[in-house]
């Protein structure tokens, strides 16, 4: 029988992957789609990093990953929350937040599906920390866990290096 922990560790990266451009067509096709206007029915995803070179994007990702790691560490400290006992869970979430910070300009929750990510990022409800986390300490991503959560570990700090290592580099 599969444990809840195993199921969550399997499903969170999959949800995050579905929310990234991991399954998108080649970057040249995406770039041309971003600027090509078809009809009112087609709303193309407009990425903030569309005009970046690979090197610029890598630098932006490193900077965003460091910023989101620092933010997450400070937030656990300020709210009395903890990371999951398996640090690969918060690492994947932090990487997803950093990716959205680069592509959308805001740390949109990477654990949800959005019809229009850009609109959601502008509205702010699901920007980290999301409204449910701020109001009720409910983090469905398992990034910020209360001590009574069965998956909560003892860690309130994760290093940039741990995040990179857990995510297989940047």
Record the pTM.
0.73
CA pair distance 9, 19, nearest whole angstrom: 16
Query: H/E/C letters for each residue in the chain?
Result: CCCHHHHHHHHHHHHHHHHCHHHCCCHHHHHHHHHCCCCCCCCCCCCCCCCCCHHHHHHHHHHHHHHHHHHHHHHHHHHCCECECCCHHHHHHHHHHHHHHHHHCCCECCCCCCCCHHHHHHHCCCECCCHHHHHHCCCCCCCCECCCCCCECCCCCCCHHHHHHHCCCC
Residue with tokens 């959308």: 104
- CB environment 81-91: b (16+ within 10 A), e (fewer): bbbbebbbbbb
> What local confidence, expressed as pLDDT, does residue 157 receive?
96
Do residues 112 and 36 touch, judged by C-beta distance below 8 A?
Answer: no
CA pair distance 39, 41, nearest whole angstrom: 5
- 10-residue stretch averages of pLDDT, the chain, 170 residues long: 52 50 38 32 52 89 96 96 96 96 94 92 93 92 95 96 86
> What local confidence, expressed as pLDDT, does residue 2 receive?
53
Q: Is 111 a catalytic residue?
A: yes
Catalytic residue among 84, 109, 111, 130: 111
């Amino acid at each position: 029988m599969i444990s809840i922990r195993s199921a969550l560790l399997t499903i969170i990266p999959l949800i995050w992957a579905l929310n990234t451009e991991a399954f998108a067509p080649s970057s040249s096709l995406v770039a041309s789609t971003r600027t090509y206007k078809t009809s009112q029915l087609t709303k193309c995803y407009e990425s903030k990093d569309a005009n970046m070179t690979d090197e610029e994007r890598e630098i932006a990702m490193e900077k965003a990953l460091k910023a989101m790691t620092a933010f997450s560490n400070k937030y656990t400290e300020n709210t009395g929350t903890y990371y999951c006992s398996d640090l690969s869970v918060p690492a994947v979430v932090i990487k997803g937040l950093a990716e959205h910070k680069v592509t959308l300009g805001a740390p949109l929750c990477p654990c949800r599906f959005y019809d229009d990510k850009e609109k959601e990022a502008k509205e702010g409800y699901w920007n980290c920390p999301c409204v449910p986390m701020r109001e009720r300490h409910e983090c469905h991503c398992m990034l910020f866990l209360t001590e009574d959560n069965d998956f909560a570990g003892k860690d309130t700090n994760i290093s940039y290096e741990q995040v990179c290592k857990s995510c297989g580099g940047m």
